[in-house]
Structure 1
Amino acid sequence: MTTQATRPTTGVSRTAVIIAQARAREHARPDRLFTDPLAEPLVEAVGWIPVQAAGRMNEEHFVLRTRFFDDCLRDAAGAGCTQVAVVAAGLDTRAFRLDWPDGTRLFEIDLPGLMAYKEAVLGVQGARPACDRTVVTADLRDDWPDRLTAAGFDPGRPTVWLIEGLMMYLTEDDNDRLLGRIGALSAPGSRLALEHVNRAYTELPDMRAVHERLRRVGASWVSTMEDPVGRLAGHGWRAAVTPQTELARRHGRPVPRLTDPQIVGDARMWLVSAERVGAERTP
């Protein structure tokens, strides 16, 4: 049983529940793009959160995003990145639902309250990870690398990093600091997968109600990224963007309305994959 204090009902933690809801609904589909039997229990323990029209439209994006990052992590692990770091892990369940190579070690980093809630639900469900899973409780705006390495993370081992649904909630400086710290911990051969948005996306009329609701729960978006390839190059990564149009075609799904260039013009919700190419500057 979880206490009210540990339930993710406010701030960015609330968005973790909304994303888990999308995964739960996708898991129930006969043509699902991924399996996630733990998503529904994680939602049910706190209660389903009503979403606005834009949130419902974005649910197709959340599904494609989940599959995209699943594939990024699987490809990286197959290429030898058997150390995985999920940044702001929230209610992510990839440690349990993906088939990991032998010897994979996965670290989940997030706030103590959210992780306590998650661990309680996973315990009730008797969930067993498919890899060596370690939870690291930390605020990503603080000095989390020391906590990560103290938990057994090896900076000399190629790592695949995942930053899903986080960067828009951090300031530009915090994002640069985060990327700098990740780079400093990334051995040659490491990979990175992340999501961000450009300014045009934040200004979409369909997003106004979303921004107002996020503001009310203390989870406003405070940064954008106009050129993810160039931004990551400055941190020592060779990056590529995969458009949702390509993912929709690949998986036989409709293009999510709020990511369809024919509807939203220059607005973009970037899905980025990258490989380590050089030494990182000092964070």
Structure 2
Amino acid sequence: MSEPVRSTNDWMAAVRAAENRLSTPYLTDPWAQRLTGPEPERVLNLLREQHSPIDIVLVRGRFGDELLAEALDSGVRQIVSLAAGTDARGWRLDLGAATFYEIDLPGQLAGKHAALGTPRNRVLALDADLRTDWVPTLVQAGHRADEPTVWIIEGLFYYLSDDDADRLLGEVSAQSAPGSMLCLDIPDPALLSDPELREFLDYCIDRGSPFIGSNADPEGWLRAHGWQAEAYLPDQLDKCEWLPDVPKRLRTYHDVWHVAARR
């Protein structure tokens, strides 16, 4: 596992931990503080100075929580978080009888489980590279393609080529029975050429974690794989009727799509 990939998960935890310290956090995550890595305040200050779109972490987290709650209410009992990183949903949410499968690069999840201790839910940590044949690992752990699944894919498609992203979505779709749901975030192509983000994007290139993925029509992309999707840019989130109002302070990031899909 490369350090550039691993440390971006530290960033996400630092953002969630800072939000959790507010009196009225949009995303509540009391576990994040244990996962921030060294010098979280320095990291946050650096990212803000570079106009990094870090507020996406909080909005997509709440977006995913709301879709997950809908899925559980509908009877879905399988949850799969791809590139799970420091996602603490297995600890911070009540998932009832559902099984929460976490998949990430070898070595990524063991540290999180050691830091957070025994989860309140049934959480299975699986080591796999999503660019290779990861589905057998999931199936061997007990996942059933003939039962509905809710998929959480946060912060991954930034780093995948169009071909790799389409292949991954195809693999997810093949494992998704009717009644399944999916949430993801993916940049619009405009983000990759945004002059305000140039310093941050160059920083990501220099450290070995460049943003290369984007999609101009995520609803059409999901439709081609058999999903009915709704997609929102930050300034469109007020049209998402099931998402709690996003505070104005969290609408400052750039062109990233929040996508929810159902089948």
Tell me if 1:35 matches 2:28: yes
The one-letter amino acid paired with 2:22 is R
Alignment pair present for 1:132 and 2:122: yes
Q: Is the 8 A contact 1:245 1:255 kept in 2?
A: no
Q: Secondary structure in 2 aligned to 1:258?
A: coil
Q: CA deviation at 1:56?
A: 5.6
Q: What CA distance in whole angstroms lies between the structure 1 residues aligned with 2:236 and 2:19?
A: 19
1:150 corresponding residue in structure 2: 140
Residue of structure 2 equivalent to 1:226:
216
Matched, 1:104 2:98: yes
Distance 1:60 1:172 in 2: 24
- 1:84 positional shift: 0.2
| Counterpart-to-counterpart distance in 2, 1:22 and 1:52 | 10
Q: What amino acid is the match of 1:111?
A: L
Name the CA distance, whole Å, in 2 between partners of 1:99 and 1:77. Answer: 10
Alignment partner, residue 19 of structure 1: 12
How many residue pairs align between the two structures? 255
1:92 to 80, 83, 87: 87
| 1:64–1:244 CA contact under 8 A, matched in 2 | no
Normalising to structure 2: TM-score of the pair? 0.90
5+ residue gaps, structure 1: 1-5, 260-267, 277-283
Shift of 1:147: 0.5
- Name the stretch that deviates more: 167-176 or 246-255: 246-255
CA distance in 2, matches of 1:204, 1:162: 27
- Of 47, 51, 56, which residue of structure 2 is paired with 1:52? 47
Match of 2:241 in 1: none
Q: Identity, % of aligned pairs?
A: 35
Kindly state the Cα deviation for residue 233 of structure 1 after the two structures are TM-superposed: 0.5
SS in 2 for 1:162: strand
User: Is the 1:83–1:158 contact (alpha carbons within 8 Å) kept by the matching residues of 2?
Assistant: yes
Give structure 2 stretches of 5+ with no counterpart. 239-243
Q: CA deviation at 1:212?
A: 1.5
- Residue deviations 1:165-199, cap 9 Å, x none? 00120111111110111011111110110000111
Query: What's the CA shift string for 1:5-36, capped at 9, x where partnerless?
Result: x8x8x222211111111100111111012321
Check conservation: 1:58, 1:256, Cα contact below 8 A.
Answer: no
Task: Provide the residue aligned with 1:78 in structure 2.
Answer: 73
